[in-house]
Amino acid sequence: MNIEESFLKYFGCAPLGVYRAPARINLIGEHLDYNGGTVLPAAISLYISAAVSIRDDSKIKVYSLNTNNGFEVDLEEIKKDSKYEWANYVFGVFYILLRDGYKIPKGLNILISSEIPLGSGLSSSAALLVLITHLTSEIFKLGLLPIDVVKVAKKVENDYLGLKSGIMDQASIALAKENCCLLLNCDKLEYKHIPLDLGDYTFVVLKTNVPRSLVSSKYNERVEECQKGLSVLKKHFDINNLCEIEVSKLDKIRELISDDVIYSRVKHVITEQNRVYEFTKALEKKDISKLGELLNESHLSLKEDYEVSGRYLDAIQEAALNAGAIGARMTGAGFGGCAIALIKKDFFNEFKERVLSDYYNKTGLHADVVEVNITSGPELLRKR
């Protein structure tokens, strides 16, 4: 049964249209978005889709084929409530739009189906936020530009859901362009598309199948640790954020920050920012070896300095390298989820078999290795 048939079964009418938004990977630049840094994500061909119709009343009614449950709320009565579970992400979009003065004259029926694994580090939640914001703007002609969609989605996470997230995930999805990654300055919201032409090589997604919660205390803890480091360094450097500091200043910073943990967090941010710039240069030169080296360095920093990888991400990264990857690293917030690996295209089947075997022997869990394409942002897939 396709999504239109499921919509008819659940809501008793045909949908007005079907929209979709992609997942994303971050090639490099992890945990830099909330530190005002420049990152390098790309949207990938795993999608969350929504069939939608306009209601005659002011209710938002949502149903997920993945969780097999649904919720409804009146537009005039929206507030965050744990009883709404995943639907808080949907309702939060309408809350922010209404709060910011946009007119939503009618309610909607929305049926959601996702092939993006939850808690995977591929930004299923950001994809949902971008999708709902985009389709609402299109249906009610709100006139939101892609950058406006990004801002609304971020406000939902920050103001409605209480998550101290940056803007990378929303931007990497809403601003995505086919066969390009996005060089995004998260502080100034300046960006440009970088062609991703790897010749005989490609990125693949490695799913640990260990979910993680983005709203975990560890995530917010890292944000706070970086803020502590920034408050110390602002007394000695003319900076607005940690990513403005050059790698050459690390020795000086070691003298200024006595707390070993805070120093390690700051060290990761500064070195990771440098890796983004080096990675971009390597892409332009098509220097595959350098790309692999930087991926591995990034993972090591996330493991040792930022401490967000964990047993399963480390195991699958190591399995990828053992299987012949040029480089591999965790992607996303960490604490479980996914990694990416750079491999030769014609090596995929052998690589997949080796990774699955190695990872299972290390963890007792079955991983997934997925081929993906670099794709564009949210779109209307079908219209009645």
In total, the chain counts a number of residues equal to 384
Residue-by-residue DSSP string for 5-34: HHHHHHHSS--SEEEEEEEEEEEE-TT-GG
62/213 Cα distance (integer angstroms): 22
Rounded Cα gap, residues 296 and 306, in angstroms? 14
* Non-local CB neighbours of 352 within 8 Å, separated by 6+ positions: 204, 369
Indicate the DSSP class of residue 247.
G
**Tell me, what DSSP letter sits at residue 161?**
S
The Cα diameter of the chain in Å comes to 67
Q: Within a 10 A sphere around the Cβ of 184, how many other Cβ atoms?
A: 28
Active site residues: 169
Task: Report the C-alpha dihedral over residues 30, 36, 38, 42, rounded to 10 degrees.
Answer: 60
25 contacts: CB under 8 Å, gap ≥ 6: 41, 42, 44, 122, 203, 205, 331, 332, 338, 340, 372
CA distance 70 to 90: 11
